[in-house]
Copies of this chain bind each other. A is one copy, B any other.
Amino acid sequence: MLSVWHTDSMSAASLRARIRAEMSDEIKAAARKHLAIEGANLSLRAVARDLGMASSALYRYFASRDELLTALIIDAYDAVGAAAEAVPVFPTAPQRWVEIAHAVRNWALANPHEWALVYGSPVPGYQAPSDTIGSATRVIFAFARVVAEAATTGHAAAGSPVDGQLGEEFHALAELALPGMAPQLAGRAMAGWIQVCGAVSAELFGQLANTIDARREFFEFQMRGTVDWIGLKA
Binding site for B on A (CB under 8 A): 38-41, 116-117, 119-126, 128, 133, 162, 164-166, 169, 173, 187-188, 190-191, 194-195, 197-199, 201-202, 204-207, 209-214, 217-218, 221-222, 225, 228-229
Contact = CB atoms under 8 A, between A and B. Distances in A.
B169 A214 contact: yes
Q: Report, nearest first, the 8 A-B pairs whose CB atoms are least far apart.
A: A198-B198, A120-B121, A116-B121, A166-B217, A166-B214, A165-B214, A194-B202, A229-B229
Contacts of A125: 38-39
Contacts of A212: 166, 169, 190
Contacts of A116: 121-122
B165 A213 contact: yes
A111 to B, nearest CB: 13
A206 B128 contact: yes
A122 B206 contact: yes
Contact of A210 (B39, B133, B201, B209): B133
B121 A214 contact: no
B225 A188 contact: yes
Contacts of A221: 162, 166, 187, 191
Copies of this chain, whole number: 2
Contact of A206 (B126, B190, B204, B222): B126
Given A198-B195, A222-B191, A164 B214 contact: yes
B207 A119 contact: yes
A230 to B, nearest CB: 9
A132 to B, nearest CB: 9
A36 to B, nearest CB: 11
Contacts of A162: 221
A99 to B, nearest CB: 19
A92 B214 CA distance: 32
Contacts of A218: 166, 169, 187, 191
Contact of A228 (B166, B210, B229): B229
B126 A39 contact: yes
Contact of A197 (B121, B188, B202, B210): B202
Nearest to A159: B225
Contacts of A214: 164-166, 169
A170 to B, nearest CB: 9
